[in-house]
Amino acid sequence: MKTSLLAIPLAIASCCSLVACSNTTSTTNQPASNSVSAIAVSSTDSQLTQFLEKEWQRFISQNPEMASYYRLGDDTLHAQWSDLSLDAINQRHTDDQNALAELLAINKASLSKAQQLNFDLFRWQLEMAIDEHQYQSYLMQVNQRGGVQTLDNFANYVPLDTVADYERWLKRLEALPTVIEQTTVLMQLGIDTGVLPPRKTLSRVSGQLEKQLVENAEESLFYKAFKQLPEAFSEQDKQRLQNHAKTVIADQVIPAYTAFTDFFNQSYLPACRDTDGLSEIPKGREYYEHLVKYYTTTDLTPDAIHQIGLQEVAKNRAAMLEIMKEVGFDGSFDQFITFLRTDPQFYYDTPEALFDAYLAVSKRLDPELVKLFGKLPRMPYGLKAIPDAIAPDTTTAYYQPPSADGLRAGYYFVNLHEPGTRPKYEMEVLSVHEAVPGHHLQIALQMELGELPMFRRLQGFTVFIEGWGLYSERLGYEMGLYQDPYSRFGQLTYDMWRAVRLVVDTGIHYKGWSRQQAIDYFTQNAAKSKEDIINEIDRYITMPGQALAYKIGQLKLLALRDQAENALGDKFDIRAFHDVVLGSGSIPLNVLEANVQEWIDKQLK
């Protein structure tokens, strides 16, 4: 399992994935032998169930941020941070190795078909985590998208409803200096071993750290959670909690950040590398190959994915040129993109107007879902603005899943920073990806699959989650969206954006491309704003391989839909097809393919 505070829900919300497991064996593995008695099968199934539950408890106990985010586990977990000491990291690696040995001792042939799939998925998750440990990615603990410098934002995700909740949050604040010290030790080891991020992207962290250095505790980002305490609290409790917070922040939190900022600016940032690609760190090329498999659940090579990207870019560009003709634009492709980036008609003047427009788009989506899905999630979703402290350095939008206890809805977060860089023609396509029928519909449905073990209900495969989000963008046509040619161009822009990712991600991390070369290629091929493009390229540099999942997953989903439509003809039911695709939760692409083929075969009988 990944060992970093970057794996807490701040990053999860951005990536729309929890633990992004990778490839796994097919569901067509040999089923249980007919000679095995039902009692024996049941006994072995029970053995695996108990093992998976034990491992789930280990996972949340070693990742207490996850326990808080999903409101799970013992209350004591909600007062803790993950242990980032090197001893603890190595112990988790040993625990993973021991868990794999215990799993392999279970007789897979005696398991039911459903449990064989659980066995395969968890085995691959463990094998990928064990393999990743050798690359020491845990030494790169901060980046412009998160780390100890943005932990104040975690107050937006933890339960803060009762006096006891605030007391547990205060215990976390008291423990924060230890987390910062452990982070410093790991980053120093990164300096010593050469496992370092690029200086160009990491330079943004200095500004984020600066926001933590305040003279008055009441001005601290960590004090925001205490400014307006629930009205139900007694005045005595309010005063006690606020005074305690001020003391902890002034005496412990701010001094810890001051020391860390000095280390970061004076030692770490100067030591970071001038290169951009992962291949420039020790074992970096092999690590990227690992991440490609991890994020796509395929055996595609980086070179093959690069070529797929070039083909998809060419296809999208041809479709974009057709829309240019439709609107009668007299100029080159570059001039048309400049027109879209600069003409005031495509932008809102204020953050408030932009937010209201997102609300209006979201309201139009929900009634259209019944045409495409037989089963919809019970959990609703809401719309929120991305916090101001992180908005300048993060993406256009992201999705935050609901809590597992059903007390917090899902949320679609939108970036209102500099509304003049957020085009109107992107709003529909962005909303179907992040909200419905994209991330909220898929993830909320997955969380409601009560027959699945917890690791499958609350964890996922990026290629499925993001592939579904990108596939959902095409469903906007069937939902009556994209009526305006510029909105259709927006949909193509987003598809082009994901195609460009295949080219630039592999280019940066495997083919020696520079950051500027990647920015230039993106700028030449997509009508995204300059700010968005730079943020996106810096994201790909920081999160190698993750960006590949979107297009690879979407292409598989589109191919499977074509396969089903061609095989079934008039018997094809889009609602039933989508229910099959989403009915097993987030799964690797080969498992998805097997599920769809099984469904097709049943329809043809």
Give yes or no: residues 270 and 295 share one domain: no
Tell me whether residue 588 is in a domain.
no
Tell me whether residue 136 is in a domain.
yes
Give SS3 for 30: coil
Give yes or no: residues 232 and 293 share one domain: no
Give yes or no: residues 271 and 294 share one domain: no
Give yes or no: residues 314 and 262 share one domain: no
Q: What are phi and psi of 93, to 5 degrees?
A: -65, -45
Task: From residue 201, give the alpha-carbon distance in Å to each of 142, 144, 145, 414.
Answer: 11, 7, 10, 22
Give SS3 for 187: helix
Give yes or no: residues 305 and 191 share one domain: no
DSSP string, 525-569: H----HHHHHHHHHHHHHSTTTTHHHHHHHHHHHHHHHHHHHHHG
Tell me whether residue 529 is in a domain.
yes
What's the confidence (pLDDT) of residue 8? Answer: 46
Tell me whether residue 567 is in a domain.
no
Q: Bridge-partner residues for 399, per DSSP?
A: 412
222 CB-near residues (< 8 Å, 6+ apart): 152, 155, 173, 245, 249, 253
What's the confidence (pLDDT) of residue 452? Answer: 96
Q: Both tokens of residue 581?
A: 């695709």
Give yes or no: residues 255 and 373 share one domain: no
Give yes or no: residues 322 and 249 share one domain: no
CA atoms within 13 A on the CB side of 198: 23
Task: From residue 457, give the alpha-carbon distance in Å to each of 17, 98, 447, 533.
Answer: 12, 24, 5, 33
Give yes or no: residues 198 and 343 share one domain: no
pTM of the model: 0.91
Q: Within a 10 A sphere around the Cβ of 123, how many other Cβ atoms?
A: 19
Cα–Cα distance for residue pair 552/396, rounded to 1 Å: 21
Tell me whether residue 389 is in a domain.
yes
What's the confidence (pLDDT) of residue 24? Answer: 31
| 8-state DSSP, 437 | T
Tell me whether residue 582 is in a domain.
no
Give yes or no: residues 198 and 106 share one domain: yes
Give yes or no: residues 482 and 389 share one domain: yes
Gyration radius (Cα) of the chain, Å = 24
Give yes or no: residues 266 and 214 share one domain: yes
Q: Which residues of the chain have pLDDT under 50?
A: 1, 6-39
Tell me whether residue 72 is in a domain.
yes
What's the confidence (pLDDT) of residue 5? Answer: 58
Number of domains in the chain: 2
Give yes or no: residues 114 and 240 share one domain: yes
Q: What are phi and psi of 285, to 5 degrees?
A: -65, -45
Tell me whether residue 262 is in a domain.
yes
Cα–Cα distance for residue pair 461/468, rounded to 1 Å: 11
What's the confidence (pLDDT) of residue 389? Answer: 79
| 8-state DSSP, 278 | G
The identity of residue 398, as a single letter, is Y
CA 410 to chain centre: 14
CA-wise closest residue to 393 among 526, 528, 155, 203: 203
Domain interval for residue 402: 289-554
